[in-house]
Chain A
């Protein structure tokens, strides 16, 4: 191939919003490969590994975490301007993450209940996936992301091919691996059929149903699956609650769990549905002030 070997190394930055750092750690966990990668990619910003900060533009920015504060909202727009390819990593960045569960709650009431001085805590009414605010070029799903997929992404970046990140259901990997379906053989509710593949069907391999941490796949037929959970003997609210995991804020999980009354914490905090989206960066929800 007469492809250039002399082109400068791609510049990559890792940026963190509201998240637990677990996904960044996956990058560090690549260990041996990380050195080889560092010889081929300039990793210029990486809060977990360096304190060194440099400015854009970047070829690739990996964004971890959801947008939860006005500051992060500003930051994400800035990142978008600086990034040729913006890639979200992990359930928080791609679907809102576990913190998006608060989106169903009365934001002000929640803050008042949790913090002694809520007036000092600046946060948006909702925790949103990055794609709700800016264009995202690619996603690495999961909570945390999968090391194999990360490696595939980096290799594809360096070799110029499209990363092989299939959009099929977890079931496809489950079946290639020769696992026995836990839904059919054991009656265990499993989100595999509506969840994006990528984890290698980990949970069904441990005799558990998939928790959906990679989020909804394309054409995810969550209503049909929830009906099947009811058919298998769960109450509608129980069936709905299966969808309320790390990616419950992503459609169509969000609708199913809202409609079936599977919203978590419903007994503690009154809620009717996800709070209205608030882009105003003031932190004041239009529905705030209740109680």
Chain B
């Protein structure tokens, strides 16, 4: 907000308020503001002052909200209700994209065409402005942006109202977000009994304020405004001690308290739904009966559900309510800071009021983190950085095992990602879904993907034939730091479907073999029939300058190779790990066992890199599913050093 706005200020008598609403509505803008509905203050369309909650306040406590009558005429004498503005910039359900597939199997992908409504938000509180600033960082601040959010946010006018009537669950004072307004608005209002002190906060705001029939603001009015703000602050107090909260919360990951909260918590998702900053989403497919025309639908999702952290074949990283509650609370108050440089909580109290069993985070947090910097986002990202889906064609199919194939895919479009070190792509099958698959080889005009059919989308991929088309994103995530491993010995350990992402590492080493020391490649699979890249492994072994070990967990009498778990390939090996760098991928439990064995060879945690599996929906750090402690596996990983993961690695329910 750079405009000179100091001149646009004055006092708007109560009788003139309709004029403000009318000016906001000019040019087809819809004004959204507080209304009384269903026993609460709900944000909805406001056409006239009659729609506003005149003389209506709220009484709030954990698990309890009641409307109360005020003796006065004020429109904004309530504390925030269940709605937050996020539903207008980040709608609960949204059609994201369209895909088509014709009879010949040609596929196409495109964004859903939609009109972005022009909105004015009337009655935004300081805590809510802070929440918008946080959402700006989430959706606009990362490597990829949320295009829909960007457009909705950019056109919305923010008319802030100074808080005079805090509720019984507010704690913005503790979170450093309110009650005073400190930027991030187009116009700010201080409501007094007979009218409003109006101040422009942006050029767009000034243009409107300049047209209002304003009176000169008197010193008494300014004093009255300041007094009621001070009184509000006083009433809220400072209920949450935030100093050191981040560290103290993360030090309590093993506290028995989580299980105690889970006795009460319903995992009902009300807290996250009410929260103005929770941003997680899931996508699903909708289509006609033949799957020819499909849309990708996105909706709010919540870390309290089972499906949120589920992966294929019944796996789940957060099976218990205590895991889910811990994820929510530690994310809000601690790991959010690591991810976005600010707490994820603004202290609006919604999660306390709207929890049906009245779980009170102020009580649950008996510790403190540094107050977040107040961030007044302006809703502008430098540019749209949306992941694009390109059509790739299957050039060849090689069957690896009974349920796994390697597809060679190419595209006509010149890939703009040749230089990318991304580790995986999101593969889109129209009408079915979009799933993360590792790049198992880089090709001049495309890539190879090795896919195991474990569910609908992956099984369809394993059935593709030459010429079939699918949609691929650009390579995503941080891949293996192979260049940094030059001059070192290399240990590569791939278990089962963990081997495909490591194959490009072998390729890269082989293309510059002289730059690396000893190279050990270990692959373990369930049975001989599950081994991948058998011929390649044999060729690598025959090459002479690679140490290749292969083992299976179970074998019949016809198998003449090694039987045993993958760690047995090298637990007695004589090599010295002090100059080695290890790259490991496989099921998490296998990685744990491998890491222990690597450690006993003297490979330190900063030299062990692993690739993690998590439930992924977006692949670009916007949907929230893949979080592990402070990390988004999709964008910060999936490759991490063990040192980077710290005690997050191997922890139950994380």
A interface residue numbers (CB < 8 A to B):
1-3, 5, 33, 36-37, 40, 154-155, 158-162, 164, 166-169, 171-172, 175-187, 190, 192-194, 207, 218-219, 221, 224-225, 227-228
Render B101-121 as a binary contact track against A, CB cut-off 8 A, 1 for contact: 101010100000000000000
Q: Could you list some 22 contacts between A and B, CB below 8 A?
A: A1-B429, A1-B464, A3-B460, A155-B288, A160-B456, A161-B285, A161-B291, A164-B285, A168-B304, A171-B266, A172-B300, A176-B93, A180-B38, A182-B39, A185-B40, A185-B66, A186-B39, A193-B266, A193-B356, A194-B268, A219-B267, A219-B321
CB contact between A228 and one of B92, B299, B357, B463 (< 8 Å): that residue: B357
Is B455 located at the chain interface by the 8 A CB criterion?
yes
Cβ of B522 within 8 Å of any chain A Cβ, yes or no, is no
State whether A159 and B287 are in contact (beta carbons under 8 Å apart), knowing that A175-B274, A180-B42, A221-B265 are contacts in the complex. yes
Nearest residue (CB) in B for A172 is B269
When distances are taken between beta carbons in the complex, the residues of chain B under 8 Å from A180 are 37-40, 42, 81-82
Q: Name the one of A161, A179, A221 contacting B456, with C-beta atoms under 8 angstroms.
A: A161
Nearest A residue (CB) for B81:
A180
Instruction: Report the separation of the CA atoms of residues A190 and B198 in the bound assembly, to the nearest whole angstrom.
Output: 43
Most B CB within 10 A of own CB, among A36, A160, A185? A185
Given contacts A1-B429, A1-B460, contact A224 B291 (CB under 8 A): no
Would A192 and B305 count as touching, CB distance under 8 A? no
The answer to whether B356 touches A161, judged by C-beta atoms less than 8 angstroms apart, is no
- Do A181 and B291 have beta carbons less than 8 Å apart? no
Q: Whole-angstrom distance between the alpha carbons of A193 and B268 in the complex?
A: 5
Contact digits for B236-257, partner A, Cβ 8 Å, 1 yes 0 no: 0000000000000000000000
Task: Give the residue of B105, B286, B432 whose beta carbon is less than 8 angstroms from that of A160.
Answer: B432
Interface contact A171-B105, CB-CB below 8 Å: no
Inter-chain contacts of B66 with A (CB < 8 A): 185
Query: With contacts A159-B291, A185-B82 known, what are 6 further pairs, Cβ within 8 A?
Result: A159-B289, A172-B273, A172-B300, A181-B65, A184-B354, A218-B306
Please determine whether B265 and A224 come into contact, CB atoms closer than 8 angstroms. yes
3 closest Cβ pairs, A-B complex? A175-B273, A159-B291, A193-B268
Give every chain A residue within 8 A of B40 (Cβ-Cβ).
180, 185
Asked if residues A225 and B356 are in contact (CB atoms below 8 Å), the reply is yes
Residues A162 and B455 in contact, CB atoms below 8 Å apart? yes
Q: Measured between alpha carbons, how far is A187 from B39 in the docked complex, in Å?
A: 11
* Residue B346 is within 8 A (CB to CB) of chain A in the complex: no
CA distance A166 to B304 in the complex (A): 12
Minimum CB distance partner of A183 in chain B: B356
The answer to whether A184 touches B433 (Cβ under 8 A) is: no
Partner of A176, one of B64, B83, B92, B354: B92
Q: How many A-B residue pairs have CB under 8 A?
A: 168
Residues of A within 8 A of B107 (CB): 1
Interface status of B284 (Cβ within 8 A of chain A): yes
Nearest residue, chain B, Cβ from A161: B432
Q: Tell me whether B411 is interfacial, beta carbon within 8 Å.
A: no
User: Could you tell me which residues of chain B, from 452 to 508, have a CB within 8 Å of some CB in chain A?
Assistant: 455-457, 459-460, 463-465, 467-470
Chain B residue contacts of A37, Cβ below 8 A: 289
Contact A185–B289 (Cβ < 8 Å): no
Chain A nearest Cβ from B330, distance in angstroms: 19
Contact with A along B348-383 (1 / 0, CB 8 A): 000001111110000000000000000000000000
The contact of A184 among B63, B263, B302, B470, by CB within 8 Å, is B63
Q: Which residues of chain A are near B464, meaning CB under 8 Å?
A: 1-2
**In the complex with contacts A3-B460, A176-B92, A184-B305 CB distance below 8 A:** no
Cβ of A218: which chain B residues have Cβ within 8 Å of it?
306
Complex interface residues of chain B between 212 and 270 (CB less than 8 A to chain A): 263-270
Which residue of B87, B289, B354 is within 8 Å of A181 (Cβ)? B354
Query: Most chain-A Cβ atoms within 10 A of its Cβ — which of B82, B267, B467?
Result: B267
**Given the complex, which residues of B lie within 8 Å of A155, measured CB to CB?**
286-289, 291
- Residue ID in chain B nearest A204 by CB atoms: B38
Residues of B within 8 A of A207 (CB): 38
Q: In the bound complex, do residue B266 and residue A175 qualify as a contact, i.e. CB atoms below 8 Å apart?
A: no
Query: In the complex, which residues of chain A have a beta carbon less than 8 angstroms from the beta carbon of B431?
Result: 159, 161
- Min C-beta distance of A130 to chain B, whole Å: 21
Q: Kindly supply a per-residue 1/0 record for chain B positions 290-331, scoring 1 wherever the CB is within 8 Å of any chain A CB and 0 otherwise.
A: 110010000110101111000000000000110000000000
With the chains together, A218 CA to B319 CA distance in Å? 10
Shortest C-beta distance, B617 to chain A (Å), equals 13
B63 partner residues in chain A, CB cutoff 8 A: 183-184, 228
CA A227 to CA B431, docked complex, whole Å: 43
Look across to chain A and name the residue whose beta carbon is closest to the beta carbon of B285.
A161
Query: Quick check: B42 and A3 within 8 Å, CB to CB?
Result: no
Chain A residue with minimal CB distance to B310?
A167
In the bound complex, do residue A154 and residue B289 qualify as a contact, i.e. CB atoms below 8 Å apart? yes
Q: Mark B40-67, 1 if CB is under 8 A from A, else 0.
A: 1010000000000000000000011110
Q: Give the residues in chain A near B358, CB-CB below 8 Å.
A: 228
Chain B residues contacting A167 (CB-CB under 8 Å) are 305-307
With A and B bound together, what is the CA distance between A190 and B63 in angstroms? 13
Residues of B within 8 A of A176 (CB): 92-93, 273, 299-300
Contact check, A175 vs B65: say whether CB atoms are below 8 A apart: no
B289 touches A175 (CB 8 A): no
Checking A1, A177, A178, A181 against B356 with a beta-carbon cut-off of 8 angstroms, the contacting residue is A181
User: Binary interface profile of B, 63-84, with partner A (CB < 8 Å = 1, else 0)?
Assistant: 1111000000000000001110
Contact for A168 among B101, B302, B457, CB less than 8 A: B302
The smallest C-beta distance from A162 to any residue of chain B, in angstroms, reads: 5
A5 smallest CB distance to B (angstroms): 7
Which of chain B's residues have a CB closer than 8 A to the CB of A1?
A: 101, 105, 107, 429-430, 460, 464, 468-470
Closest to B302 in A: A172
